[in-house]
């Protein structure tokens, strides 16, 4: 019987059964694309990662990321969680593991730093692989229809709903308050219509909704919905948080700034996550976005490849 080992971790939390679960296949050599997709579909997590030897020896590994329906070029919690798992090892494909890793991904090179305590990894930080890009705006009515709200619930004072990306595109929109955010319910027909209307996302329409704290605009509560990708709601979305943080810093009037943005997500699902984002802006241009968070191991086991 051929088997394949896996580990699951909860990402952006230090409490088991909170945060965003991730399955990591730390040695995916020999798996076909189709097999990877079937395994990801079977787990039915928002993402599963498959680790392969790097194509360039200067890098640590090649990491492929699959949702239940497709491969994607980049995502936040899969990188943070994969780095946490690999950081517990003494070597990866014959090379020793230090405090910095480099992952080859479809979106580019993802640089990782590991935070350690008493010999174990306590948290990881990743640098977004692409600069901020801002795409088309999305009508407030489209956003509202997707999540069963009145269009007046969408706030447009700072920005209209818009596509933003640092490696993976999301529609981001601000809502009026926490009660409104909690009332959001995904409407599949609304998402199907929205996907048909847009051409800039590069994947199925995914919607990131947020509310800023009245006491600190850099503290944010968010929710992410991607029902077309079999993810009705995601408890922690690092790539969307990074895109939003970069976009809000870009919109800020200061020309030069370094900001720590904190995104709390998954609260309404009972899987609270905390995502830290350090954003640098120089000369009016966002130059760097670092996504960081804690992880906790949950399960390990074997996948049966064939009888």
Which pLDDT score, from 0 to 100, does residue 204 have?
81
Reported as a single tens digit per residue, the pLDDT across 236-248 is 999 999 999 999 9
Indicate whether 140 and 278 sit together in one domain: yes
User: pLDDT tens digits for 131-158?
Assistant: 999 999 999 999 999 999 999 999 999 9
Active-site positions read: 47
Tell me what pLDDT residue 298 has: 98
Question: What is the rounded average pLDDT of the residues 112-122?
Answer: 91
Q: What is the pLDDT of residues 209-231, one digit of tens each?
A: 999 999 999 999 999 999 999 99
The total domain count for the chain is 2
Instruction: Verify that 193 and 246 share a domain, yes or no.
Output: yes
Do residues 187 and 122 both lie within one domain? no
Is there a single domain that holds both residue 172 and residue 186? yes
Quick check: 1 pLDDT over 70? Answer: no
The residue range of the domain holding 11 is: 3-127+295-304
Whether 137 and 267 share a structural domain: yes
Q: What is the dihedral of CA 50, 224, 211, 84, to 10 degrees?
A: -20
274 and 152 in one domain?
yes
pLDDT at 199 over 80: no
In this predicted structure, the answer to whether residue 36 has a pLDDT above a threshold of 90 is: yes
Whether the CB-CB separation of 114 and 136 falls below 8 Å is answered with: no
> Does 201 have pLDDT greater than 60?
no
Residue 282 pLDDT > 80, yes or no? Answer: yes
Mean pLDDT score, 100-126? 94
Instruction: Check which CATH number belongs to the domain holding 227 and give it.
Output: 3.10.310.10
Residue 236's nearest CA partner among 14, 51, 87 is 14
Residues 77 and 116 in one domain: yes
Please state the pTM of the whole predicted model: 0.95
């Amino acid at each position: 019987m051929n088997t394949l080992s896996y580990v699951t971790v909860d990402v952006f939390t230090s409490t088991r059964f909170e945060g965003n679960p991730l399955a990591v296949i730390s040695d995916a050599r020999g798996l076909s694309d189709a097999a990877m997709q079937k395994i990801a579909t079977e787990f039915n997590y928002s993402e599963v990662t498959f680790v392969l030897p790097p194509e360039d020896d200067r890098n640590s590994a090649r990491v492929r990321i699959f949702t239940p329906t497709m491969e994607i070029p980049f995502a936040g919690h899969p990188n943070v969680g994969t780095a946490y798992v690999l950081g517990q090892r003494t070597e990866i494909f014959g090379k020793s593991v230090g405090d910095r890793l480099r992952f080859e991904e479809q979106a580019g090179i993802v640089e990782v730093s590991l935070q350690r305590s008493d010999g174990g990894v306590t948290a990881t930080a990743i640098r977004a692989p692409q600069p901020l890009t801002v795409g088309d705006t999305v009508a407030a009515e489209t956003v509202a229809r997707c999540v069963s709200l009145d269009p007046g619930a969408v706030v447009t004072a700072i920005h209209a709903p818009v596509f933003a990306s640092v490696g993976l595109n999301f529609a981001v929109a601000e809502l009026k308050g926490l009660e409104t955010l909690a009332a959001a319910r995904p409407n599949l027909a609304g998402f199907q219509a929205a996907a048909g209307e847009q051409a800039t996302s590069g994947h199925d329409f995914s919607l990131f909704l947020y509310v800023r704290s009245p006491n600190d605009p850099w503290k944010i509560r968010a929710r992410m919905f991607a029902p077309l990708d079999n993810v009705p709601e995601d408890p922690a979305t690092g790539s969307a948080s990074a895109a939003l943080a970069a976009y809000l810093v870009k919109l800020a009037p200061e020309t030069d700034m370094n900001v720590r943005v904190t995104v709390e997500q998954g609260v309404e699902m009972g899987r609270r996550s905390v995502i830290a984002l350090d954003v640098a802006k120089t000369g009016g241009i966002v130059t760097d976005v670092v996504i960081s968070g804690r992880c906790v191991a949950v399960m390990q086991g074997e996948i049966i490849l064939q009888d």
